[in-house]
Amino acid sequence: MLKKGDIEKCHFVPLSSLERVIDMVENYNPEHDHRCKRNLLQLQLEGSSTENNLRQRKWRHKLHAAMSRAIYAHDWDKLLYLLKKSPIWEHDTNRLDQLPIYTRAMTILLMYHPYAKAQSLLSEYFHMNAVGLPIAKAMISEDGETIEWKHSVLLDGPAEMWLLGLEHMMRVVLREQLIQTRLALRKCRYQREQWINDWPGQLGITCSKVSFNKGL
């Protein structure tokens, strides 16, 4: 028989709560809780890989922007510094529009850096052995006007690669020729007959339009 002290130590609970406890004990069916069974190490690795990928994309975007600013500002020492800090194996990507960025920057650097021009490093960089492969050396218009390139482009390998290289070389050569044509036009304002014969027609028309618009 319970004494008065034992009764005071008892804790009474509602009958409904007691029934739920009894039901749980009799019909216990453990469920798999993913929140408790997850691999915390795997979660950390997944989170770190996602953060690393995001960090690499941000870094690559900033690097491309910095290289573009250095090229447009003709700051070849800064471009050389950026290329040293970003080796070519860090530019591996599956996107075709990003594959030749490092190669383009390297080509522009070797083409315009004073030391590279003095040592003719671009010729060594674009060295091609005579194996009978197709090589582009110049641009020819429908009228027969020809603009020769300083460096040839090898038309071999994946088409998307050498087509991008061909497009880049055409842009660089046209830019140089346009600058030279514009300078020649400034020197011979009143004797344009010889200037028209010396320079390609399309470039001459473009420079004449630029000069006319600036004179308005």
The mean of the pLDDT values for the chain is: 70
Task: From 63, 61, 79, select the one nearest 71 (Cα to Cα).
Answer: 79
Burial (CB count within 10 angstroms: exposed 0-12, middle 13-18, buried 19+), residue 102? buried
Percent pLDDT > 70 in the chain is: 58
If you average pLDDT over each of 2-11, 115-124, 150-159, which comes out highest? 150-159
pTM, two decimals, is: 0.38
* pLDDT, position 188: 75
Between 113 and 33, where is the model more confident? Answer: 113
* pLDDT, position 7: 53
* pLDDT, position 175: 86
* pLDDT, position 128: 46
Q: Report residue 107 as tokens.
A: 């080509």
Give the largest CA-CA distance in the chain. Answer: 131
CA distance linking residue 109 with residue 71, whole number of Å: 8
* pLDDT, position 96: 47
Between 188 and 7, where is the model more confident? Answer: 188
Q: Report residue 154 as tokens.
A: 């090898």
Mean pLDDT of 84-91: 66
Mean pLDDT of 98-126: 68
| SS3 sequence of the chain | CCCHHHHHHCCCCCHHHHHHHHHHHHCCCCCCCHHHHCCHHHHHHHHHHHHHHHHHHHHHHHHHHHHHHHHHCCCHHHHHHHHHHCCHHHHCCCCCCCCCHHHHHHHHHHHHCHHHHHHCHHHHHCCCCCCCCCEEEEEECCCCCEEEEEEEEECCCCHHHHHHHHHHHHHHHHHHHHHHHHHHHHHCCCCHHHHHHHCCHHHHHHHHHHHHHHHC
pLDDT in tens, 196-213: 777 777 778 888 877 777
Task: From 135, 67, 136, 55, select the one nearest 98 (Cα to Cα).
Answer: 67
* pLDDT, position 38: 56
pLDDT in tens, 49-76: 667 777 777 877 888 888 888 888 888 8
CA distance linking residue 59 with residue 110, whole number of Å: 24
* pLDDT, position 120: 62
pLDDT in tens, 131-175: 456 777 777 777 767 777 777 777 777 777 778 888 888 888 888
